[in-house]
Each structure stands twice: as structure tokens, then as C-alpha cells.
Structure 1
């Protein structure tokens, strides 16, 4: 059902894009990267969070980690991951298939600048075995996302300094 919501969204807003469905699960970054033949960083993972009383989505590079200090500075509070039931209720997508397309509830969407390193990224498409290949700028434009800097990538000074 949720893949259909994504297909409907794409048919209306980006009919040239195709939902890719694999036989194997792509529910984790590593599984998705293997399945789609890309590096893990090219997987556009969508995190479902709550900051204070506001639910929102942040789409990041697959190998990026949230930096709580940056999030607090940009979005005004400490993030908490939503529970699986709340994720399904708000997005219409299961954990492992969450994406910014075809949402059940309008939610603010933010894209971390870590995605801008790539010409093409691979976000999920509403199920644990579906995805879309898309340019990060186009993805952000399609969903009305705001670009923010709230992550650290492996090997960056802030990441390397953490115990």
C-alpha cells in the first residue's frame, strides 16, 4: 500500500521517475547499498524524529550520523527517534521503507547537506524493498525540503574526536 502512495506521488510530480523493487530487503543502509550497487553514503536514509512537540523527517547520507549539538542549534531542540507505530501512523511507511514521498501526514522535511556530495542518491520508496534513484537537489525540491547541516560523516574531525 505505501509503495502505491509513493507511485501516486511520483506520477503526479515526477512521472519520469520509477520505483525500483528488489526481491531482497533493503531495509538497512548496507542492504540497500548492496542491492542497488552504490556506496552506503549514496543511500538517502530518512530519519523520523520529534523535536519538542514537532514531528519531522531528516534525509541524510547513509553513512552520516546526527550531531545533536548541530540539530539543537538549527532546529531548536534535542531530537528523539519516533517509535515504529508512530512512524507508520505519521508517514504511512514502515521503518526501513520511510521516505519523504507520498506521506500520510504532511511533515516538515529537511535534507542534510551530506547528500550534496552525490549526483544521484537512493532513498527508499515506501517499503523495505523499494527505492528511487534521484538527484538530491531534485528530491529536496519535490518534497519542499529545506537544506540543513546537522550531521557528521565518518572521518570528519567531530566524528574522529568522539569516543
Structure 2
């Protein structure tokens, strides 16, 4: 089921992510599906159940930066297609750090306010520097988690960049 939303729309399934997007006045669609508890490949599940090309579905990953960029947080967000992997070296370079490593899942949940598999780049408890893989620029719309498993948000990549003050970067690899 897909719903189109604009600022002030009654989402019926409000999450901190949709609240942030509504406040920003960004157009988006919610895409919901029945998540199976025994499935841990959330991207493949979403692609199959939403009948969307997997290259358009992006996962949100939290990383620790070492050393932390001057005057910046030690954490950052990388958003890459579910068909690939996050290139930690490329993300570290984009963030101005020497190294990056995946954040502990408990840290990611605590800082984002979401559970792993449902971490949205929007509405996080602690806003972090965010980097969207440049492959997103080729798509009219992409899908990211809406804040819970089985709930995605479809929007234009440039709207994601604008709302989050994010940056495009070549951070994905096969």
C-alpha cells in the first residue's frame, strides 16, 4: 500500500521520520509490507514485497569515525543501496576521518532511536553527518526505512540531501 504525503498530511503511521519530513514540507510516499520476523535481509525482503528494483532501496548504516573530525561528532551515517556494501574507507575520506568502522548495533539503536533493520536516516534522536551514495542521483526516487521494519519511505534523493543537509559521495561497493 502506498500513500502520498505532503506537509501536514495525516500519515496514519507517523514515525519520527515522517514527522521530520512533514515539518520540512517534503513530498514522499510510504510503502508498507508485512515483515517476517525470521528474515534478516531487510533489503531483499522489501524489494520482493514492494515489487521495487533492489537498486532503488537504500540501507542506513551508522559508523564510528577515527579520529573524529575536528569539531564534529565521532559518528556518521552512510546510506547505500541494499545491493551493495558500505565502503568504510570511502566514507571515512568523505567525512574527513582517517578510518571508519561499523558502529555497534546497540550504539546505532541508542543514537538513532530506531531498531536495527528499521533505522531511518530521518527523525534520529541524534542528528549525524550523513552521506548518500552518489548512485542515488540516477534514480527519480529511492526508498529508505521509515522508522520500523516493514515501513519504507519513497522520496527524491535530492529531498533527502536537502532535509538532512547530507552529501553525495561514492561510498558503496559491490
Q: Same fold (TM over 0.5)?
A: yes
Alignment of 1:81-100 (within 5 A): 81-100=102-121
Runs (5+) with no aligned partner, structure 1: 155-163
Q: Comparing both structures, which one devotes a greater share of its residues to strand?
A: 2
TM-score (norm 2): 0.78
Correspondence 1:71 to 2:91: yes
Q: How far has the Cα of 1:72 moved from its partner?
A: 3.9
Correspondence 1:43 to 2:57: yes
Distance in structure 2 (CA, Å) of the matches to 1:69 and 1:16: 33
Distance in structure 2 (CA, Å) of the matches to 1:4 and 1:141: 19
Summarize the Cα distance change of 1:72–1:139 in structure 2 as closer, same or farther, 3 Å threshold.
Answer: closer
TM-score (norm 1): 0.82
Q: Comparing both structures, which one devotes a greater share of its residues to helix?
A: 1
Query: 8 Å contact 1:3–1:126 — kept in the other structure?
Result: no
Q: Which digits, 9 at most, give the CA deviation of each residue in 1:7-66, with x for residues without a partner?
A: 211221136434333223586110111122111111011111111141110111221223
What does residue 32 of structure 1 align with?
Answer: 46
What does residue 149 of structure 2 align with?
Answer: 128
Distance in structure 1 (CA, Å) of the matches to 2:50 and 2:131: 24
Summarize the Cα distance change of 1:69–1:143 in structure 2 as closer, same or farther, 3 Å threshold.
Answer: closer
Aligned pairs, number: 152
Alignment of 1:109-120 (within 5 A): 109-120=130-141
Matching residue within 159, 164, 167 for 1:143: 164
